[in-house]
Amino acid sequence: MIIQIMIIMITIFNKNMIRNLFLSLIICLPNLGGKTFAREGNLVLLQSLEGRWQFSIGMNDEWTSPKFNDTSWESIRVPSPWEDQGYNGYNGYAFYRKKITISSKYRDRMLYLNMGYIDDVDEVYLNGKKIGSTGSFPPNYSTAYNAERIYYIPAEYINFDGSNQVAVKVYDAEQQGGIVSGDIGLYSGRNSVNLDVNLQSTWKFQPGDDPRRKEPNFDDNGWSEIFVPGKWEDQGYRDYDGYAWYRKSFVFKTTNENEKMVLLMGKIDDIDQVYINGTFVGSTGTFPSRHGEEASTGQEYQAFRGYYIPVGLLKKDQKNIIAVRVLDTGGDGGIYEGPVGLITQTKYIDYWRKIKRDNN
Amino acid sequence: MKTKHYKSIAFIVLALILGIPVHAEDLRKIVSLSGSWRFSIGDDNKWASPSFDDSGWDQIRVPGKWEDQGYNDYNGYAWYRRTFRINDIPSDSPIFLILGRIDDVDEVYLNGREIGKSGKFPPDYKSAYDRTRKYIIPKELINANGDNVISVKVYDSYLEGGIVEGPAGIYIDEDNELLALNFSGKWKFQTGDNKGWKYADYNDEGWTSIEVPSVWESQGYEDYDGYGWYRLKFSLPQNFTTGELYLSLGKIDDIDDVYLNGEHIGNVYDLRKDFGYRNSGGEYNVRRVYKIHEGLLNRNGSNIIAVRVYDEQGLGGIYEGPVGIMSAENARRYKNRHHNDYGNRYNSFWEYMFNKFFGNDNSNNDNYDNDF
């Protein structure tokens, strides 16, 4: 009997070793493949955006707009530090702009813009709509020079088969600056989610924890802003682990208020509890029952969140408040990957059927 | 969840060391439900209805996690539906629906009526991913001459989801053949503990109805531990056998006191030695067969069985048959049939060693109130 147990325990031990070996091989694979990203689940390069971009130092809100005429701007090579292209010694704000065409054959896929590594802080717009931001601009400056920028592009922002304006606002504090390196391009992921309410935008954000923050009438005016999705380490909260709350208000427009809606929260590092108008709608992971108690987390950060909302909770044509309590137990934190938004159950079922067909 | 793997490995190691009997029932499959089911993610109570048209739905293999079948990364609600026919409904045995392991929470309907559930759906989410689903099917719900529809509502929090591990089918428990009178089915049930509930003339009309045998967790008492009482009123058929009789209550989690017409007829501690159990802690696995004293049964009128159950933790209740009256000969046969369930008197090597050195024949459960 004892020998039997030992044999089985040795077998389990060996299996784990083999599995770990296998896992480390899988983790190495994306590096060998070059243009895929493990984090986003194998993105495929559709169109390289390396080469000449329009460029200007300075900063002006109009420069994010597709209507702005940048023909008088300088041309600059991307990726490369601007110091190497005639702007030696320049620190401060600058803009990059480029027009791209996106084929309608990618309409059903999730599309991502990879802007590579930007030194130090950036904000990226497509057709005047912000799609992502990394690092933090002055006055609360925080660099994110070593973070790769991969931004999800909501399909409703895209002018398929036509011209699309990419605008990148960059801030460099010191030394080299600009879009310095990386595999700049347009990438496709799996099938797109056609959200009914897109919540990928700027949210209110506050570290710490307080149960009152779930209440719809809680005053979050003093809170800072954060872009969702995006880990908070890249947005001014470097090295922050622990509790934080996100809040967002939105108007729910629908023609059928009896249709069941699903709230997609993408991926959250590590665990979350979500409230709509003060009512709990979903959670992934187990929060400590008492404050100060250690939370045990595992693979929750990899789980794709879809919370089914009871019919009647969302107020039609009125302001609704969503509040998300997040606990990050170490490493990256926050609502870091989309899609984030509301979709009807009917469309959500179709979405998964399509994914299944693609997988087979 | 990493911890799930740790839990299952820990369980295997524990099972090996402690020798937990994983399977000891004489179940016979009468309908197989493995293979292709209709499947849709999402949630809609209309999908419980047998008349709902699921022909447009996707198909999925059962058992098997949905992540392996095109739904990689999906978390949340999903429904499974399957139509089956059953030709012979055995009259002498309860019928069980077994769906194996479901990750994490489920609620099962037969022909539109709920027959059992495990775990808790959000907002008070609680996983039951490590529990084998076995639900008693009330026979009156079965359509003997046509199609029957099983609808399973599943909720998965994260990682693997669905009806993940078999077996899946409809089963009968062959031990029921040993019963002269079968008491499986609806009993009266009340949580709590009260001395008056043992009496034959106690009025239990306000009590709820519960299916026996079944863990009470699957019958609406998901988080309940502690005391619960079962009561059943019955009459003997005419010309019922006059020999020595035994009351079988199958397995009870954890401890019981059994009353017939107000008289105490047994307690698990009376039986442990007969079944090779020497230590405390294994009461939930002891098969209850209590002798019915001469003259206690009312042969012409009604009789009342009252069973006081104490569940220390985890699953609770009269959870495995056979439940009913046995002749002395069948009671002996039943004991012999299951004598080896527990690995030759001792549950495991470790239990044997423990008993050899610390032999604790009469230790009772500390939390159980014996001075009742």
Identify all chain A residues contacting B41, using CB atoms and an 8 Å cutoff.
348-349, 352
d(CA B165, CA A109): 33
d(CA A36, CA A30): 6
Beta-carbon contacts of B16 under 8 Å, excluding residues fewer than 6 positions away, are A4, A5, A8
Radius of gyration from C-alpha coordinates of chain B:
21
Cα A21 from chain centre = 30
Q: What percent of chain B has pLDDT over 70?
A: 82
Identify all chain A residues contacting B157, using CB atoms and an 8 Å cutoff.
284, 303
Cα distances (angstroms) measured from residue A131 to each of A114, A171, B8: 11, 17, 42
Identify all chain A residues contacting B122, using CB atoms and an 8 Å cutoff.
280-283, 307
Instruction: For residue A109, name the pLDDT band (cuts at 50, 70, 90).
Output: confident
Helix H or strand E segment including A351? helix A345-359
Cis peptide before A229 (omega within 30 of 0): yes
Phi, psi of B104 (to 5 degrees): -110, -35
Check whether B124 has a pLDDT greater than 80.
yes
Identify all chain B residues contacting A296, using CB atoms and an 8 Å cutoff.
3
Residue contact A304–B157, C-beta within 8 A = no
Cα distances (angstroms) measured from residue B364 to each of A148, A259, A315, B151, B289: 63, 56, 57, 42, 19
Q: Which of A2, A348, A360 sits opposite B70 (nearest CB)?
A: A360
Mapping DSSP to helix (H, G, I), strand (E, B) and coil, where does residue A130 land?
A: strand
Model confidence over A148-184: pLDDT tens digits?
999 989 888 999 999 999 999 999 999 999 999 999 9
Q: Which of B43, B71, B158 sits opposite A352 (nearest CB)?
A: B71
- A197 in Cβ contact with A252 (< 8 Å): yes
Pairs from A68-76 (Cβ < 8 Å, separation ≥ 24): A68/A97, A70/A97, A73/A97, A76/A52, A76/A178
pTM beyond cutoff 0.80: no
Provide the β-strand partners of residue A197: A342
Cis peptide before B123 (omega within 30 of 0): yes
Encode burial over B28-50: b for 16+ CB neighbours within 10 A, e otherwise. eebeebbeebbbbbbbeeebbeb
Q: Does B87 touch chain A (CB under 8 A)?
A: no
Tokens 């719809």 belong to which residue?
Answer: A216
Residue contact A348–B41, C-beta within 8 A = yes
ipTM: 0.79
Residue contact B42–A282, C-beta within 8 A = no
Mapping DSSP to helix (H, G, I), strand (E, B) and coil, where does residue B312 land?
A: coil
Q: pLDDT value at position A243?
A: 96
Residue contact B3–A262, C-beta within 8 A = no
The one-letter code for the residue type at B158 is Y
Structure tokens at A297: 């987390």
Model confidence over A5-42: pLDDT tens digits?
444 444 444 444 444 444 444 433 333 333 333 344 56
d(CA B259, CA B194): 13
d(CA A250, CA A253): 9
Model confidence over B327-340: pLDDT tens digits?
999 999 998 888 76
Check whether A348 has a pLDDT greater than 60.
yes
Q: Which of B9, B70, B158 sits opposite A355 (nearest CB)?
A: B70
Residue contact B76–A308, C-beta within 8 A = yes
pLDDT, greater one: B273 or A85? A85
- How high does pLDDT run on average in chain A? 87
In 3D space, the residue among A142, A350, A109, A94 whose CA is nearest the CA of residue A240 turns out to be: A142
Q: What percent of chain A has pLDDT over 70?
A: 88
Model confidence over A313-337: pLDDT tens digits?
999 999 999 999 999 999 999 999 8
- B109 in Cβ contact with B207 (< 8 Å): no
- How high does pLDDT run on average in chain B? 87
Phi, psi of A42 (to 5 degrees): 60, 80
Which residues numbered 152-181 in B keep a CB inside 8 Å of some CB on A?
157-159
CB atoms within 10 A of CB B144: 11
Mean pLDDT over B61-75 rounds to 95
- B280 in Cβ contact with B364 (< 8 Å): yes
Sequence length of chain A is: 360
Tokens 């009807």 belong to which residue?
Answer: A344
Identify all chain A residues contacting B61, using CB atoms and an 8 Å cutoff.
none
Q: Does B18 touch chain A (CB under 8 A)?
A: no
d(CA A27, CA A33): 11
Question: What's the CA angle centered on B264, arms B258 and B267, to 5 degrees?
Answer: 50
Of A9-13, A130-134, A203-207, B238-242, the range with the highest mean pLDDT is A203-207
Q: Which of A299, A300, A352 sits opposite B74 (nearest CB)?
A: A352
- B364 in Cβ contact with B371 (< 8 Å): no
Q: pLDDT value at position A79?
A: 97
- A235 in Cβ contact with A259 (< 8 Å): no
Check whether B180 has a pLDDT greater than 60.
yes
